[in-house]
Structure 1
Amino acid sequence: MLAAGLGKRMRPITATVPKPLVEVAGKALIDHALDRAAAGGIETAVVNVHWLADLMEGHLSHRTGAPAIVVSDERDALLETGGGVKKALDHFNGEPFVVFNSDSFWLEGPRPNLGRLIEAWDPDTTDILLLVAPTATSLGYDGAGDFYMDSDGRLSWRGEREVAPFIYAGVAILKPELFADTPEGSFSLTLLFDRAIKRNRLQGLRLDGQWLHVGTPEAIEAAEARVRDSARIV
């Protein structure tokens, strides 16, 4: 669970509150993520901390029930997504593992997406499996997208000055051996995504439901309104 970032786009809120503790629909973003992890059968979550780490650890210490929490302390240096995962590799016993952005937030479809992702994982054909959301239906997202996806689920980067139909939704399954020849210290997981694309082994699963991009203070209100609307429909 990646929870160490500075949350610069969410300022001024994140000047005093780490982004994973920002509340949406009455619950901290990281609790939405950890509850999804528990529902998907994940028994232990390794959570990295850096910015306002004492607040993060205090919050996590008051959680009860699954998943069990292990803290990966990055107070000394922010390691980005790739470096943060690499620091925590010893906790995964050499097995593939789920990486979950602590601010990943969506409305579920008929079947929970984390369970669908785990079921779709095939290590024989795939090095990295990403949950991807359609840009056209994602709330609060106005970027150019990240990926194209072919009929077999293989992903490729969008080109420069192009618009792609899918964005990374912040949840992935990776093999630990992919980190064997990665840099020490800070680096991004996009390095591994790029390598997997070149080997034709980056695959995507389309999110069933709606991804809510909670990137700015203004986006919180829009996300909460969408959650309320969804509850009324149900």
Structure 2
Amino acid sequence: MKAMILAAGLGKRMRPLTDHCPKPLLPVAGKPLIVHHLERLQQAGFNEVVINVSYHAEQIIQALGDGQTYGLRIHWSQESTPLETGGGIQNALPLLGDAPFLLVNGDIWCDYLPAQAMLKGDDLAHLVLVDNPAHHVDGDFALEHGRALTHGTPRYTYAGVSIIHPALLAGHPPGAFALAPLFKHAMNEQRVSGEHFTGHWVDIGTPERLAALEHFLSL
């Protein structure tokens, strides 16, 4: 199974830290944020990773190269302008192939160790869900008997980690579009599974959250 890291965002909420540095290269505990993802993927047995880039793409490519330093092979999916989550994945499908792949948002940190598990039956996605943080108290999706649902309680927050079947994006017009509506459509067809992860997870959306993570990792 291949993995994909979403790393093409502008990092607007992280300014001024991202005025001249792309968010994936912001240092956390002595190494760029994206390197934490690469090391965890390699530890989990992945060997090929697709990374989409746009904002300051050249800095990220130069920093990581072909991935050999991290025991991985990196494939680069470049976007002239950011294509959002769904569009970025769709643009990278030629590099990902026809099999399900692991998707990781580049702007999170968590100690979840991804498994190379396959989707069950005709499922189109498997989502990792976490307890709702203070900045997102209403959550995103419900979870019932291992199935992710658009409605119900309790509700959890999408962790930015999932297994995706390329067919989830089949037929969608090219361009910039979000991934969440595709998840919801597949949930309505009962084709999305999920799990509740209770380990440490951070959505690094502000400089304050980055500083808090730095403090946590220094303990």
**TM-score, L = length of structure 1:** 0.84
Q: Which residue of 2 aligns with 1:204?
A: 194
2:30 to 26, 31, 35: 26
The answer (yes or no) to whether the contact 1:127–1:174 under 8 Å persists in 2 is yes
Q: Which residue of 2 aligns with 1:146?
A: 140
Deviations 1:112-141 (A, max 9, x none): 3x02xx33x433052100111111xx5x64
Deviations 1:42-93 (A, max 9, x none): 111111110011111111117513221111110x222111111111111223
Percent of aligned pairs with the same amino acid: 37
CA–CA separation in structure 2 for the residues paired with 1:184 and 1:77: 13
The structure in which a higher percent of residues are helix is 1
Specify the code of the residue in structure 2 equivalent to 1:67.
L
CA–CA separation in structure 1 for the residues paired with 2:52 and 2:195: 25
Q: Which residue of 1 aligns with 2:123?
A: 126
Q: Which residue of 2 aligns with 1:155?
A: 148
- 2:73 matches 1:68: yes
The answer (yes or no) to whether the contact 2:8–2:82 under 8 Å persists in 1 is yes
Structure 1 moving runs of 4+ over 3 Å: 140-143
CA–CA separation in structure 1 for the residues paired with 2:197 and 2:129: 6
3-state DSSP of counterpart to 1:149: strand
The answer (yes or no) to whether the contact 2:66–2:73 under 8 Å persists in 1 is no
Q: Which residue of 2 aligns with 1:41?
A: 45
The answer (yes or no) to whether the contact 1:106–1:211 under 8 Å persists in 2 is yes
Deviations 1:118-176 (A, max 9, x none): 33x433052100111111xx5x64442111111x12122358xxx96311111111111
- 2:189 matches 1:185: no
Return 5+ residue gaps in structure 2 as ranges.
Answer: none
1:87 to 83, 91, 115: 91
Q: Give the 3 Å change call, closer, same or farther, for CA 26–58 of structure 1 in structure 2.
A: same
The structure in which a higher percent of residues are strand is 2
The answer (yes or no) to whether the contact 1:81–1:188 under 8 Å persists in 2 is yes
CA–CA separation in structure 1 for the residues paired with 2:138 and 2:12: 20
